[in-house]
Amino acid sequence: SRRTGRQGFAAAETALIDGFADQAAIALELARRLEESEELAMLQDRDRIARDLHDVAIQRLFATGMTLQSATRSIADPTASERVGRAVDDLDATIQIIRSTIHQLRTSDDDRGGPALRRRLAETVQLAAQHIGFQPSLRIAGPVDSTVPEELREHVLAVTAEALSNTARHARAHHVDIELSVPDGADRVVLTVTDDGAGLGSARPTGGLLNMGSRAEQCGGSFRIGTGPDGRGTRITWTAPMAGA
């Protein structure tokens, strides 16, 4: 406004000022939308990289690890077999690092209709079946897709892959049952993997089994190894609270 006592703005001046204000508002809105567009493009690019890492890199590493594990059965030299085993453990560690990177890159899948836990778990089991030599049984109970947080999903997938990897490597099993459930109340997720193989016997847990226990501890959950319901084979029970992820 002008000082008191001076002539007010003419209509043309007011229109000009209004025009400047409108242009400034449009410029600010365009800048905001451009920023949002750039942020969306960045998030989409990060999601694409995360999907490529999961669908290509991890799957190939996992398949390579399963192939090496199958090959150890035909290696007569204990030293060579041990070296191959260490290479498999290194691959498992690399997969864990990539999964951690995926979690950091990925935004919420649920909001955009991304891969649900049911589908991703089925893909993990299907991939393992190619190397185990038979199709494991998979049962999923409860609202796992809507209640299990993304970080906890990555742990569930990694533990399942580790368990199947150990089955292929050591168990000499003919049947594997996998069950993932969210009990009533949806306060925790429970994963059990049971096989009819040779069992652990007196062997101390190493490699993948230790990784499963570490993941449970990280999530504030629990990890137990025992025999199957008929006293044969191995049963792995992995539990984590929803709030622990």
Does any domain span residue 83? yes
Q: Tens of pLDDT along 23-72?
A: 777 777 777 777 666 766 776 777 778 778 877 888 888 888 888 878 88
Does any domain span residue 121? yes
Q: How many domains does the chain have?
A: 1
Strand order in the sheet with 137-141: 137-141, 176-181, 188-195, 234-241, 222-226
Does any domain span residue 5? no
pLDDT, residue 216, reads 93
Q: Which domain holds residue 226?
A: 33-244
Does any domain span residue 92? yes
Q: Tens of pLDDT along 168-222?
A: 776 678 899 999 998 876 689 999 999 988 777 655 666 678 889 999 999 999 9
What whole-number percentage of the chain has pLDDT above 70?
80
Where residue 146 sits, what CATH number does that domain have?
3.30.565.10
Does any domain span residue 28? no
DSSP designation for 109: S
Does any domain span residue 7? no
As to burial, measured by CB atoms within 10 angstroms (0-12 exposed, 13-18 middle, 19+ buried), residue 129 is middle
Does any domain span residue 26? no
DSSP designation for 9: P
Residue 160 binned pLDDT confidence (cut-offs 50, 70, 90): very high
Supply 149's token pair: 């947080």
Q: How far is CA 135 from CA 24, 44, 53, 161, 176, in A?
A: 64, 35, 25, 14, 8
pLDDT, residue 104, reads 66
What is this structure's pTM?
A: 0.57
Over residues 80-87, the mean pLDDT reads: 86
CA atoms within 13 A on the CB side of 227: 8
Over residues 73-89, the mean pLDDT reads: 85
